[in-house]
Amino acid sequence: MALIVKKFGGSSVANNERLFNVARIIEKDYKKGNDVIVVVSAQGDTTDDLIAQAYSVNPNGPSKREMDMLISAGEQMSISLLAMAIETLGLPVVSLLGWQAGFVTDSHYSIARIKRIESERLRAELAKKNIVIVAGFQGLNKYDDITTFGRGGSDTSAVAIAAELKADLCQIYTDVDGVYTADPRIVKNAKKLDEITHDEMLELATLGAQVLNNRSVEMAKKHGVELEVLSSLTPDVKGTIVKEVVSMEKTIIRGVAKDSNVSRISIVGLADQPGIAFKVFNRLAQAKVNVDIILQSVGRDGTKDITFTVTKDQCDAAIESIKALSDSLKYKHVVHDESVCKISIVGTGMETHPGVAAKMFEALYDADINIQTISTSEIKISVLVDIKDAERALNAVHDKFIH
């Protein structure tokens, strides 16, 4: 007998047919004698629909406190409907809202962080042999007001419960059957991974693999929670296990990812003085701009260039921040380019295998693709290429490493 936490996203419970599909997945594990806790998101487009309704009432944006009150109703409906579906199978079940399940959060409405789970109720329901359906994405702050966790928050809810109750397994059901070496919609040779480490998963999530929410993987890593990513439509197909240490495999490259949400900004002709990098990036940090790749050119004519990337929505804020520095920072001009794409390879132990970077560059050279910028970390190598070359680059790099 084990304790299993399962999380189903909105598309997995979008209609009655899907609800019963999920109910039968749960039934199977419960009838084997396991304790089962299920975390559910709102059905289908419910959350988006509620947000649209809120903006139709207040186009300038409602207060976040009231928005959280509104959208948390979405999971309230999905948990009770799923519980009703499970009731028809003759199984004991109870649905719990975030606060009933003990989720205590800080007071940052719409992006709340979980402070702790007061798990007495969860434990009591398991002791009664109830299947427990928990509303994901939501908790309660110290004012007894409802908070939500932001996009992907239900993954975090599931991992938090698994960590708190030391679950034997935490299964994240999505509409793909695991983590792939690349996006299968773009790379036809993409292969499903049996295993991947938390760190590798984090890099892939950041890079736009869009399988697991980043906060949930960080939390899983911190608390040593083993995750399985699998599909609710093919629940009997083994998914991908995300865990701390994975067994050796032939390939050291776990995946290849493409991220188009990138703007490249260059400050050209900076006077070469001490502290210019500090000035630039301190200012950007104050403006809450998250900088990704940073590259500083070697000097030329007593000036140097600094190039960095940000997400597209932060491009304007970044450029304004730089321009606001013009009093204390001497430079020729600022240019930005939105027609770029980041291609990355991820794999633990990459740094102990010489030649990985060279092999990546060779793949791009063979495909006649120009590399604009290079950035490396212990488990990742990223390059910027022109957006028009993005898909070809992804395939070329993928097929070079993964056969």
Please name the residue that has the structure tokens 């730089």. 322
To a second copy, the closest distance from the beta carbon of 232 in angstroms equals: 17
Closest C-alpha among 239, 296, 249, 244 to residue 270: 296
Nearer to a second copy, 41 or 395 (CB): 41
In sequence order, which residues have a C-beta less than 8 Å from that of residue 302 and are 6 or more positions away? Answer: 271, 272
What are the phi and psi torsion angles at 333 (to 5°)? Answer: -160, 170
Sheet arrangement for strand 138-140: 114-117, 103-105, 138-140, 146-148
Q: How far is the CB of 16 from a second copy (least distance, A)?
A: 6
Nearer to a second copy, 85 or 310 (CB): 85
| 345 bridge partner residues | 256, 381
398 vs 171, 188, 275, 382, CA distance in Å? 27, 10, 39, 13
Residue whose structure tokens are 């999380």: 7
Quote the CA–CA distance of 34 and 53 in Å, as a whole number. Answer: 40
Other beta carbons less than 10 A from residue 6's beta carbon: 27
Of 2 and 124, CB closest to a second copy: 124
Q: How far is the CB of 38 from a second copy (least distance, A)?
A: 14
Nearer Cβ to a second copy (53/107): 53
Residue 33 or residue 90: which is nearer to a second copy going by CB?
Answer: 90
Q: How far is the CB of 281 from a second copy (least distance, A)?
A: 37
User: Phi/psi at 363 (nearest 5 deg)?
Assistant: -60, -40
Q: Could you list the residues that contact a second copy (CB under 8 A)?
A: 16, 19, 50, 53-54, 56-58, 60, 62-63, 65-67, 69-70, 72-73, 76-77, 79-81, 83-85, 87-88, 94-95, 97, 100, 121, 144-146
C-beta of 55 vs 365, nearer to a second copy: 55
DSSP secondary structure letters along 198-223: HHHHHHHIIIII-SS-HHHHHHHHHH
| Nearest approach, Cβ of residue 140 and a second copy (Å) | 10
Cβ 291 to a second copy shortest distance, Å: 35
Using the minimum distance from each CB to a second copy, give the nearer residue, 51 or 334: 51
Residue 166 CB contacts under 8 Å (≥ 6 apart), including other chains: 3
